[in-house]
Amino acid sequence: MSLPFNPKLKERARELRKAGLLHEALLWNQLKRKSFKGLDFDRQKIIGNYIVDFFCAEKGVVIEADGVSHQGRGDYDAQRDDYLRSLGLTVIRISAKDILQNMEGVLGFLHHHEALMIDQKPPRPSGTPPEEGN
């Protein structure tokens, strides 16, 4: 998936990764190294002129962990989400409070989110011979 990229944001993305807010770090611990459903997530990914908290290229999903920095910025967030959606991405927003107080619930929500479903093999029609070796 080829996405627009503003190279001027590279240093800012690096700073955000190093700073790591607690709620972001806790969620990252659940997503990194393909530990969530075997999906590969990037942290503080540059997409266009924005830096998103977490990004899964395989599923085209952006996860935003909304803390106090998002308060009073509803119009900005909506504009940003519209842009990301225009690229064919799904944006999932999760509150920092939920991450800090109910990680199990957050992971359950993400696990069952339609955009993060793992493709499964379709069932074989009845009467189909078993796969070779069975």
2 falls within a domain: no
Give me the mean pLDDT over the 94-112 stretch: 97
Q: Please indicate, yes or no, if residue 127 is contained in any of the structural domains.
A: no
The answer on pLDDT for 133 being more than 60 is no
Any idea which residue has 């619930």 for tokens? 105
Task: Over range 15-24, report the average pLDDT.
Answer: 90
Gyration radius (Cα) of the chain, Å: 18
CATH code for the domain of 100:
3.40.960.10
Compute the distance between CA of residue 83 and CA of residue 89 in angstroms, rounded to an integer: 9
This prediction's pTM: 0.84
Q: Is residue 1 part of a domain?
A: no
Length of the chain as a residue count: 134
pLDDT exceeds cutoff 90 at 118: no
pLDDT tens-digit profile of 30-83?
Answer: 999 999 999 999 999 999 999 999 999 999 999 999 986 656 678 899 999 999
> Would residue 98 count as lying in a domain?
yes
| Domain total of the chain | 1
Q: 2 to each of 64, 81, 108, how far by Cα in Å?
A: 20, 18, 29
